[in-house]
Structure 1
Amino acid sequence: MHGSAMSGWLLMALCATTAAYCLLRTRSETGEGRRTARAEALMGFGMAAMAVPAAVVTPPAWGWAVYAALFGAASLRALWFSRRGTHHLHHLVGSAAMVYMALTMAPGSGAAHGGHTGDGVTATAGGVPLLTGLLLAYYVVYVLRSGARLIPVAATATAGGGTAGGSWGTRPELALACRLTMGMAMFAMLLTL
């Protein structure tokens, strides 16, 4: 990712920690919940890998193609499972955004030069590519909506004088906080394009 090394390391640590929690959730979830937790863990670890500052570790030229292929497959998986529930559509948007970032950040993509991205999506009047702007708008709405949903869950979890019970992997407020954190991280990554 472009930007300062400190912010890159912090973003990487945040995404890796969130992904590790999602892996913890896979142990206590079943069925659809487990699939969702796996998809979120993949997204978190992928975001962590992309956030490593390029000044420290420069990924090989073929690395961006691996990211694009991995998240392209995740997009197809999310599209397949979206027929069971609409929450997979968010995973589809996230995976597609990761493919877009991988293609944009690949060496020789020509991204952000001349007001065009590598795939021909023209820039808006301010110089931000249209697709980047749409993804930024999506993640602003997603983060605000997730934050608003988190407040009532946290209030009911502590209203009885304790936590909602169960293990760390079954606490709904932590799963929502995980989604909120990854939404903010995705927004931050898109800002650096």
Structure 2
Amino acid sequence: MHGPASPAWLLVALCAATGAYCLLRMRSGVEEQRRAAGGEALMGFGMAAMAVPAAVFAPPRWVWPVYAAVFGAAALRALWAARRDAHHLHHLMGTSAMVYMSVVMAAAPAGHHHMPGGSGVAPVTGVLLLYFTGYVLLTGARLVPAAAAPGPGSGRWGDRTELARVCRLSMGIGTVAMLLTM
């Protein structure tokens, strides 16, 4: 999104590293973990691309509808998967947030990077901020005991649940940061 350059580059690095780790997680022996990791890799790299400071690279106007279409397709996939596993509802929220941010950026006048038509926080932005702030706090609290000491039979590093939680926590933090710039 479009805030100060230094935090934006930190967000790009965080999201790109998360996306890269999620690509590595796709090598898991567990099919459900591979599937989730693929969606999370898409989110990580998409967030990294959206977070590049506008002063460095201002994407052409046609990019935002493409982002909305890609993340819209990912949201439909998450909705379809949510009928089997409620965990996918979080993926649905994440991809929906990306669609929303893409649509807002497409609707923003050139050179203006905030919500069109007024001041303050838009209701959708506020709801998404509340959800992702709560998600970050809850996931962080759940992660603390898990990070204490993995057991001796914890499996391959790509299959460790605490690393997947860290991945999701990083993307949640990134989403909050991106929503704050809206």
**Is this contact kept in 2: 1:147–1:180, CA < 8 A?**
yes
Query: How high is the sequence identity, in percent, across the aligned residues?
Result: 62
Tell me the CA shift for residue 175 of structure 1. 1.1
Larger Rg: 1
**Is this contact kept in 1: 2:107–2:116, CA < 8 A?**
no
**Tell me, what secondary structure is at the counterpart of 2:3?**
coil
User: TM-score with structure 2 length normalisation?
Assistant: 0.92
Which stretch of the first structure deviates more once superposed, 14-23 or 163-172? 163-172
1:187 paired with 2:180, answer no
User: TM-score with structure 1 length normalisation?
Assistant: 0.87
User: Which residue of the partner structure matches residue 96 of structure 1?
Assistant: 96
RMSD: 1.7
User: Which residue of the partner structure matches residue 119 of structure 1?
Assistant: none
Distance 1:114 1:150 in 2: 40
After the TM superposition, which residues 1-193 of structure 1 pair with which residues of structure 2 at under 5 Å, given as runs? 1-106=1-106, 108=108, 112-115=115-118, 127-157=120-150, 165-193=154-182
**Is this contact kept in 1: 2:11–2:48, CA < 8 A?**
yes
Matched pairs, number: 179
Tell me the CA shift for residue 167 of structure 1. 3.0
Which stretch of the first structure deviates more once superposed, 78-87 or 101-110? 101-110
**Is this contact kept in 2: 1:164–1:171, CA < 8 A?**
no
Distance 2:166 2:29 in 1: 17
Q: Give ranges in structure 2 of 5+ residues lacking alignment.
A: none
**Is this contact kept in 2: 1:61–1:107, CA < 8 A?**
no
Instruction: Specify whether residues 168 and 60 from structure 1 end up closer, same or farther in structure 2 by C-alpha distance, changes over 3 A only.
Output: same
